[in-house]
Amino acid sequence: MTPLRMGWIGCGTHANEMLLPQLMRHPVRLQALCDVSDERLHETARRYGVADNNLLKDWKSLLARDDIDAIGMAVGPALHHEIGLAAIARGLPVFIEKPPAPNARAAQDLAEASKARKVPVVLGFMKRYSTANRIAANLVHAEKFGMPASFLGQYMTAPTYFEKDVDYTGFFLHHCVHYFDLVPHLMGEVSSISSRRFQIEPGKLLLHVDFAFRSGAIGTLVMGTHQSRGTPMEWWQVMGDHHRVEVRNLHEVRYFRAPPFKVNDLQATLRDHEDTLVWEPNFTVAANEDHKGYHTLLGDFIAVARGEARHVPDAQAGAQAMHLLEQAIGGL
Ligand SMILES: NC(=O)c1ccc[n+]([C@@H]2O[C@H](COP(=O)([O-])OP(=O)(O)OC[C@H]3O[C@@H](n4cnc5c(N)ncnc54)[C@H](O)[C@@H]3O)[C@@H](O)[C@H]2O)c1
């Protein structure tokens, strides 16, 4: 297969540590790199073998090239919006890290432009793609699970980002936004949303988000900036009628059904159709799983950029997540 020729904008931590390593496992050629920082540009070029004449400091020059099939970027909310619109105008399929824009209105612009120009946009909502989350979502969406009646989850972080300047915008935009995509992905359309907050002290915010879903189901999501990043940060559970799926720390799935008590059963055993199923990855083998989901997400982006149909987190999903975020926190 001919490699997809990618132009990449933003050579920061996330691009270097998460996105580019997974992107390069696919049939892709990094045709050109762009960053305003010389140091980051050259370090990234060294890692991925991009020649000096393909290193650019101005993203407009990168978009103007005629040897690029698709664009990827991880720069930040305002530039995601601005560069995203320019890539769409240029007709280049574009992978945009989250958040797609600094606010819901701007995210909606991107969605409308992508639809009007029929240029695919894929957003970095990789939580949908993590192996454990995919297993759990498929269980929840299977007919035999019945109606998902409730969601309960927590997605924490630490106050590190906020110690100097107590402004929670970064927490909302860079952290919380993920779950405003994941929760509707699991539970369906949200009919109303509200939140309560408690600030333990400046920089340490606790947010409880209350969801009602069009199906009648209900949900609570706890997010906050008062936990150590050295501890597991995520846990979620969806309950149906005598069914319950949980994902712990993005890698352990438990599926509870309706087993009978075993206490008086001398033949007690584990039965396929009723006892609890547990899935955990084997961390000993080479990395053939996709715990965080970046590899599969980027694979879907490449397929979409080549014209294949995939169910991806697109620009409209980004706008929806941003609208829900704004409703939950009362505006950005
Ligand atoms: N999916 C996730 O879980 C996850 C995790 C971390 C970060 N991110 C997202 O990735 C994005 C980047 O985060 P990061 O931690 O890598 O930040 P970063 O600051 O390390 O990287 C951003 C890079 O963009 C470059 N840049 C800034 N302005 C530019 C311009 N005009 N043209 C070209 N390059 C420019 C910077 O020099 C820097 O190298 C953010 O939107 C963040 O939310 C996502």
Q: Is 41 in the pocket of ligand 1 (CB under 6 A)?
A: no
Contact by Cβ (8 Å): 6, 31:
yes
Above 80 in pLDDT, residue 286?
no
CA dihedral 89, 92, 98, 104 (to 10 degrees): 20
Q: What is the pLDDT of residue 52?
A: 96
Which domains, from first to last, does the chain contain? Answer: 4-126+294-313 (3.40.50.720), 131-291 (3.30.360.10)
Residues 6+ apart with CB under 8 A from 66: none
Interval 141-189: pLDDT, tens: 999 999 999 999 999 999 876 666 788 999 999 999 999 999 999 999 9
Q: Which is the closest atom of ligand 1 to the Cα of 174?
A: 43
Residue 78 CA, ligand 1 centroid: distance in Å: 11
Q: What is the pTM of this model?
A: 0.96
Q: What is the pLDDT of residue 213?
A: 98
Q: Is 169 in the pocket of ligand 1 (CB under 6 A)?
A: no
Strands of the 218-224 sheet, one edge to the other: 190-201, 204-213, 218-224, 150-156, 234-240, 243-248, 252-256, 277-279
Q: What is the mean pLDDT of residues 276-281?
A: 95
Above 70 in pLDDT, residue 36?
yes
Q: What is the pLDDT of residue 181?
A: 98
Q: What is the mean pLDDT of residues 122-140?
A: 98
Biggest CA pair distance of the chain: 75
Contact by Cβ (8 Å): 168, 162:
yes
Residue 254: band (very low, low, confident or very high) from pLDDT cuts 50, 70, 90:
very high
Q: What is the pLDDT of residue 163?
A: 61
DSSP-assigned beta bridge partners for residue 195? 209
Q: What is the mean pLDDT of residues 100-127?
A: 98
